[in-house]
Amino acid sequence: MKLHAIGFVALAAASLSLPVLAADVTYRKDIRPLMEQKCLGCHGSSAPYYGDFKEDAKKYKAAMKGPRMDTYADTIYFIGWPDTGAMMRRLDDGKSSKSGKPGNMYNFLGSNDEERQKNFKLFKNWVGEDGWVLNRWKARGDVPGVTKEQVSKMKLKY
């Protein structure tokens, strides 16, 4: 009887911790819908791949098109490699940047401060608190190169 009671408590505790796991931020559940709402108007399937974008950035900017990021793979391209940290530099709210200024895509995260902060936190959570580094792959100017340890902290759950 006593053993049963202990087993029951253990089971209850285990099932209580499940919702915490289920609440992990994922691309499919959280990020894709957010990007559909806020980003893909300019970064969607009619936008150019990064290589094409770079070749004619002026034209695409004038047409309000940024590089395409409408799949998981095309999104993490701007986080891990090869365009390391681009997403973080553009989306940061200013707290992780040297200038203290938000990145130029931060504004698109919402129509007011509250919504922007909420969606910013969601994004940051997805990348991982410790993986949220604004460094580039290779150091450039005063932006340092990312370390392997920093990259290994990126969560980016699918």
**From 15-23, 85-93, 130-138, 144-152, span contacting ligand HEC (CB under 6 A):** 85-93
- Start-to-end CA distance of the chain, whole Å, equals 43
Residue 30: C-alpha distances to residues 48, 63, 134, 147 (Å): 24, 28, 22, 27
Look at the alpha carbons of 21, 81, 100, 27 in this order and tell me if their dihedral is positive or negative.
negative
> Which CB sits closer to ligand HEC, 7 or 104?
104
> Which CB sits closer to ligand HEC, 22 or 142?
142
Q: Does 86 bind ligand HEC (CB under 6 A)?
A: yes
Residue 106: C-alpha distances to residues 13, 78, 117 (Å): 39, 15, 9
Q: Does 78 bind ligand HEC (CB under 6 A)?
A: yes
By CB under 6 A, the residues from 43 to 72 that bind ligand HEC are 43, 61, 64-67
Q: Does 87 bind ligand HEC (CB under 6 A)?
A: yes
By CB under 6 A, the residues from 109 to 138 that bind ligand HEC are 109
Environment class of residue 14 by beta-carbon count within 10 Å: exposed (0-12), middle (13-18) or buried (19+)?
exposed
Q: From CA 54, how far away is CA 32, in angstroms rounded?
A: 24
By CB under 6 A, the residues from 93 to 112 that bind ligand HEC are 104-105, 108-109
Give the binding site for ligand HEC (CB under 6 A): 38-39, 41-43, 61, 64-67, 78, 83, 86-87, 90-91, 104-105, 108-109
